[in-house]
Structure 1
Amino acid sequence: GKNKRIAFADGEDERVLRATQVVLEEGIARPILIGRPAVIEARIERFGLGIQAGRDFEVINPEDDPRYRDYVSLFHSLVGRNGVTPDTARTIVRTNTTVIGALAVKRGEADGLICGLQGRFIKHVRDIRSIIGLQPGISDASALSMLIMPRGAFFLADTYVNQNPSADELVSIALQARDHLKRFNIEARVALLSYSNFGSRDGDSAFKMREVYAKLKVAAPDLIVEGEMQGDLALNQELRERYVPETVLRGEANLLIFPDLDAGNIGYKITQRLAGFEAYGPILQGGDKPYLDLSRGASAKDIMVSGLLALIKARY
């Protein structure tokens, strides 16, 4: 793990600097910080941290990096036909640290990217997607969020990207999420969420989740999956068995698949705040290389854990 290189787009941020110290102390990875060296050095001194640029981590300086021209020409070759002129490309590669980090990953100079402490989430997703690209056969990125509570880890998708995914897209999101859980040595127990329990209600969303269930049974016969069902049934075997005594899902589901972005984002945020669980991610699924997009409220610990998640992805 310690030879993997994780790029941090917000390299001047105090939380990133504190996370960098932990990453180095624990021997987790080799950090690459994107930011102005003088600002990074001054802040390290101000916060009393024991890390040093060059010795402990690499810096990519947006204002003056020897690779600047190479980065610009790669960026323009990727987005030049999307209305980005060479002049605009030059400006973006000077000022947008997420783009710089994504280009470092694309060029093989970093193994994963962590970004998102500044700016809008979906903008980061678009920037990264246009540079790193998607895995073959994937129609779009999706977001997998993680909640850690005393009784275990729960994963939720899609919490940030796809507004109203089709049944086929939800099948793809569920299978990608299952693969992520495998990387953490966790067997996915999937609940397909709805306002309907096993055909009790009709409506577009309920029909869609029923279709997802049928398609997953064909695409992944060994997958532990149940639905469509309401959230309480997903987490309570006794309630679930009142509807389907023969359910394959035992105990609590640990991977919750939502019918649309409204449900996914609201469900995730409310659970996190009301219950005070530790929330990590989201991991962006579907990208050709590992990247994580943090929320603006992320702490140093969130950032460090996210580094670990990116690393686990980079190893596979």
Structure 2
Amino acid sequence: MNILLLNERTVVLVDTHVNDEPSAEQIAEFTVMAAQEMARMNLAPKVALLSRSNFGSGSSASGAKMRRALELVREIAPELEIDGEMHGDCALDEALRMRILPSSSLKGEANLLVCPNVDSGNIAYNLLKTAAGGNVAVGPFLLGANAPVHILTSSSTVRRIINMAAMTVLDANRV
């Protein structure tokens, strides 16, 4: 899980570093864990399951996987505000999403972007991080371990290292 504090919004992305080709079940599991972690940080999760198809418009394997993950998340965490599968622009642009699917259960801009595989997650994260400029990147965090795990990549800035140290202190106080 990675967090980007951008000028106009906060965006969380999963999975950016670990699961090459996660199953629908794995996606559902880490979606719920990421939403719980966001709630712990006082961020209300609004989840978009991303794909190259919008709400069944394509027949790709990743689209089918994300639709199945949506079903599973709705069973596991029915209170979670979530929809998908959708393009990234639909996730961040409510007006566009409502034109395509007026019955979407996701209101406003998504702030938890769930990618179908690690390649798309890592690419999306790095593009957003770089294109937005002047942002703050926090993470990645490994979800689902018995104890908190924080990862520093080779591109970590001093600011990111300080942010991760602060998150480690918060986690140490929680454990």
- The alignment partner of 1:180 has SS state of helix
CA distance in 2, matches of 1:181, 1:239: 25
Alignment of 1:53-72 (within 5 A): none
Q: Is residue 2:150 matched to residue 1:281?
A: no
Q: Which residue of 2 aligns with 1:228?
A: 85
1:215 pairs with one of 54, 60, 72 = 72
1:291 pairs with one of 126, 130, 149 = 149
After superposition, the C-alpha distances for 1:15-70 in whole angstroms (9 at most, x for unaligned) are xxxxxxxxxxxxxxxxxxxxxxxxxxxxxxxxxxxxxxxxxxxxxxxxxxxxxxxx
The question of whether the paired residues in 2 share the 8 Å contact of 1:289 and 1:314 is answered with no
Structure 2: gaps of 5 or more residues: none
The question of whether the paired residues in 2 share the 8 Å contact of 1:183 and 1:312 is answered with no
CA distance in 2, matches of 1:309, 1:179: 15
The question of whether the paired residues in 2 share the 8 Å contact of 1:194 and 1:259 is answered with yes
TM-superposed CA distance for 1:246, in Å, is: 2.2
After superposition, the C-alpha distances for 1:249-273 in whole angstroms (9 at most, x for unaligned) are 1111000000001100111111111
Q: Is residue 2:101 matched to residue 1:244?
A: yes
CA distance in 2, matches of 1:254, 1:313: 22
CA distance in 1, matches of 2:159, 2:99: 41
CA distance in 2, matches of 1:165, 1:217: 18
The question of whether the paired residues in 2 share the 8 Å contact of 1:183 and 1:313 is answered with no
4+ aligned runs moved over 3 Å, structure 1: none
Q: Which residue of 2 aligns with 1:181?
A: 38
Q: Which residue of 2 aligns with 1:146?
A: 3
CA distance in 2, matches of 1:312, 1:152: 22
Q: How many residues align?
A: 173
TM-score, structure 1 as length reference: 0.53
After superposition, the C-alpha distances for 1:150-177 in whole angstroms (9 at most, x for unaligned) are 2231100000000000000000110110
CA distance in 2, matches of 1:252, 1:231: 11
Q: Which residue of 2 aligns with 1:303?
A: 161
Q: Which residue of 2 aligns with 1:167?
A: 24
CA distance in 1, matches of 2:119, 2:5: 22
Alignment of 1:6-85 (within 5 A): none
TM-superposed CA distance for 1:299, in Å, is: 2.3
Structure 1: gaps of 5 or more residues: 1-143
CA distance in 2, matches of 1:212, 1:272: 26
TM-score, structure 2 as length reference: 0.94
Distance 1:222 1:293, change over 3 A: same
Q: Which residue of 2 aligns with 1:269?
A: 126
The question of whether the paired residues in 2 share the 8 Å contact of 1:241 and 1:247 is answered with yes
After superposition, the C-alpha distances for 1:225-279 in whole angstroms (9 at most, x for unaligned) are 0100000000011111112212221111000000001100111111111222321
Q: Which residue of 1 aligns with 2:110?
A: 253
After superposition, the C-alpha distances for 1:174-216 in whole angstroms (9 at most, x for unaligned) are 0110111011111110000000000000021110000011111
2:55 pairs with one of 198, 202, 214 = 198
Tell which structure's C-alpha radius of gyration is larger. Answer: 1
Structure with higher RCO (Cα < 8 A, 6+ apart): 2
